[in-house]
Amino acid sequence: MFEHKTEGLLPLQAFAARMARSFGLVTCVAVVSLLLGTVGYCHFGDLAPVDGLLNAAMILTGMGPVDRMNTTAGKLFSSFYALYSGVAFLSMMAVLTAPIFHRIMHKFHLEEDEDAEGKK
């Protein structure tokens, strides 16, 4: 997926395409996660769709729930969705920032190699 340390730095246009793919993947995961949460809050929490979406968005971003769950099923769903959301959020941030960190590390590695060759 990423270039090897012996390869040159990826051109800016190809890096932008890589970032766009990462952003697209993160957007898809976020949309599916919001849909899953909205449907779950509507079904198990007996909430209106807009309230389900609000709760799903707040949990997915780590802000916390808005509405109190009164049923056992609603509380269980809310618990498992919160656990899922924590992992999903961290995973989305990793996918989004991995190309940036890789490019920075690759650039530093190339500069080290150039310095080492110059000293020989």
1 within some domain:
no
| In 19-104, beta strands by DSSP E | none
Kindly state the percentage of the chain with pLDDT values over 70.
88
Give the pLDDT confidence score for residue 112 in this predicted structure.
61
Residue 3 lies in a domain: no
Cα–Cα–Cα angle for 44, 26, 52, rounded to 5 degrees: 20
61: helix, coil or strand?
coil
Phi, psi torsion values for 15, nearest 5 degrees:
-65, -40
Cβ(30)–Cβ(57) below 8 Å:
no
Q: Which of 80, 81, 39, 75 is nearest to 58 (CA)?
A: 81
Number of structural domains the chain divides into: 1
**Structure-model confidence comparison of residues 67 and 118, the more confident one:** 67
Does 7 reside within a domain? no
The better pLDDT of the pair 27, 108 is held by 27
Domain limits for position 97: 12-119
* CATH number of the domain to which 29 belongs: 1.10.287.70
Span 43-68, mean pLDDT?
Answer: 94
The reported pLDDT for the residue numbered 2 is: 72
Residues 42-53 pLDDT 10s: 999 999 999 999
| pLDDT at 120 > cutoff 60 | no
pLDDT at 39: 97
Residue 26 tokens, joined: 């993160």
Q: Is 22 helix (H, G, I), strand (E, B) or coil?
A: helix
When pLDDT is cut at 50, 70 and 90, the band that residue 116 belongs to is: low
Domain contains 34: yes
